[in-house]
Amino acid sequence: MKTLHQQATERARQWLASPLDDTTRQDIQRLLAQPDPKELIDRFYKELEFGTGGLRGVMGTGSNCMNRYTVGMATQGLANYLVKSFPNQKVTVAIAHDSRNHSRTFAQITADVFSANGISVFLFPDLRPTPLLSFAIRYLGCQSGVVITASHNPKEYNGYKAYWNDGAQLVPPHDKNVMAEVNAIDGIGAIRFEANASLITSIGRAVEEAYYREVLARIPQKEAIVRQADVPLVYSSLHGAGITMVPECLTRMGFSNIIVVDEQREPDGNFPTVESPNPEEPSAMQMAMQKAEQTQADLVMATDPDTDRVGIGIRGPQGYFLLNGNQAFSLMMWFILKNNRQPNSYIAKTIVTSELVDDMARDLKITCFNTLTGFKYIAELMNQMEGKAHFIAAGEESYGYMVGDFIRDKDAVSACAFFAAMAAAAKDAGQSLYDWLVQMYVDHGFYKERLINLVRKGAEGEQQIKAMMQRFREKPPAELGGKAVVRMLDYKTRLDRHLISGQEVPILLPASDVIQFYLADGSKISVRPSGTEPKIKFYLSVKTRIRSAGEFADAENRLEANLGAIEEALFSL
């Protein structure tokens, strides 16, 4: 069996035998000549694969990196699959990109390769949010689409999200079939890089206008917005694509006091004001929160570079604080479901997202479906439910939300619109979003969640993550935080095991590398490797009941202690 070093060396030499530009050739020669093989292994030990978010990697030379050739190879494979999937049809694709370094270059390469294969291309003339790409595919009647982005990853990353004709990211069998087509390509020399410019068309404003109409048609309590049009709203695009649409959408809704964080307004792939452009990280939200303090804003919003995720901050009794993704999604659902007038409706969420939403939906007599992690699975569910029930909204704990079925991916533009509408409606009722958050807990149960990320980079890190998952499967903990583990769900084996009785029930979702433990008091721990980043994720959830807002503070302290005990127990295993 070949070592990782041998595999990487062999793959690097295969690249050298291909038609490459001089800079790439010289870099490969440098990697092969280095006495320490770690960099060579990390860049060449495997091919980039489609995960929950498509193709994603560090920019640079190598088969495991984002560069001209891996983008070209992915596009050639997708082009081959599209031609086979839609025989005797004119195939069209839409392409968008965010503000990351090389994003425009990679978008143009993608357009060139598609056009070289006889496929017509609609290309956005400048950076635009990912959700607009999802919308454009459906609006323009395309068979596929691509957006060049690494979403919320650090600045050294870029990525390639591929979409099908429903406006959703690729799901089985399409993702595996595309990779099979990529693997069948006979080297870099088989990529068709020579563009057919006559097949590439720039996308005009009509797509954006149609998108705004869809969003505005779904906003509830419009009369409250009219009365509270001057509610102060802070927004930051974190140097990303959100600046092109979020302020405009809020303005069209009627808001007149939109406070943009100027230091983060300019699109910039180096993200100079943040360590990482991820609204899940408190440090990325710092400037926006400071602006809120200065302006006494009712709501803080910040979107990631491709504008499919949004971080939320609100004002409480002790000052401004950040909502986590579970809190923000739950609060949005509380607002939307209370205003829902459609019969036979449903919402959707992922298996690692707060079960408060399940409880809320049950209390309000709305069906709630759970899917695997990734909005592509939510979109797949929506396709299955087409014509059977009315879709309301969906979300996941990782700051992604979607309202309405006019797109099929998470959408921070429309999410910002709904959070702003919530702020106006709360103020119009003489309350705040904090008041609503606590009331939601009183009504449906108090859940408190925590996400722990362990980063393990490179080939060595990947092996460490696999070993951790294997240990949890082979030796599940008997207790965590002083509470017995009573149930284990292994989505890889698709078995739900009740550890006390020994009863096993099949899990009806597709296989996935996720493990969940339930404790005797109802606490829940989910463990999964990230599909888009070099990390393993631990999702902790504890819960209790409160009868009034006066019980909130004491209950929060108890739940925080429970989370700490579980975390300590996890990392002492």
Does residue 572 have an active-site annotation?
A: no
Q: pLDDT 10s per residue in the chain (573 long)?
A: 789 999 999 999 999 999 999 999 999 999 999 989 999 999 999 888 765 556 899 999 999 999 999 999 999 999 999 999 999 999 999 999 999 999 999 999 999 999 999 999 999 999 999 999 999 999 999 999 999 999 988 999 999 999 999 999 998 889 889 888 988 998 899 999 999 999 999 999 999 999 999 999 999 999 999 999 999 999 999 999 999 999 999 999 999 999 999 999 999 999 999 999 999 999 999 999 999 999 999 999 999 999 999 999 999 999 999 999 999 999 999 999 988 888 999 999 999 999 999 999 999 999 999 999 989 999 999 999 999 999 999 999 999 999 999 999 999 999 999 999 999 999 999 999 999 999 999 999 999 999 999 888 888 888 999 999 999 999 999 999 999 999 999 999 999 999 989 899 999 999 999 999 999 999 999 999 987 778 999 999 999 999 999 999 999 999 999 999 999 999 887
Q: Same CATH fold, 447-570 and 51-204?
A: no
Distance separating alpha carbons of residues 70 and 113, to the nearest angstrom: 12
Other CB atoms within a 10 A radius of the CB of residue 401 amount to: 27
**3-class SS of residue 230:** coil
**3-class SS of residue 423:** helix
Q: What share of the chain is helix, strand, coil (3-state, %, to 5)?
A: 40, 25, 35
User: What DSSP string describes 130-146?
Assistant: HHHHHHHHHHHT-SEEE
Return the closest-CA partner of residue 58 out of 43, 76, 40, 77: 43
**3-class SS of residue 175:** helix
What CATH number was assigned to the domain covering residues 51-204? 3.40.120.10
How wide is the angle at C-alpha 359 spanned by C-alphas 448 and 407, nearest 5°?
A: 90
Cβ neighbourhood burial of 212 (10 Å; 0-12, 13-18, 19+): middle
Distance separating alpha carbons of residues 445 and 551, to the nearest angstrom: 12
Single-letter residue type at 515: I
Where do the structural domains in the chain lie, given as residue ranges?
Answer: 1-45, 51-204, 209-217+226-444, 447-570
The backbone torsions φ and ψ at residue 203, rounded to the nearest 5 degrees and listed phi first, read -80, 130
Candidates 2.130.10.10, 3.40.605.10, 3.40.120.10, 3.40.50.460; correct CATH number of 209-217+226-444? 3.40.120.10
Q: Write down the architecture of domain 447-570 according to CATH.
A: 2-Layer Sandwich (3.30)
Catalytic-labelled residue, pool 63, 151, 345, 541: 151
Distance separating alpha carbons of residues 285 and 137, to the nearest angstrom: 31
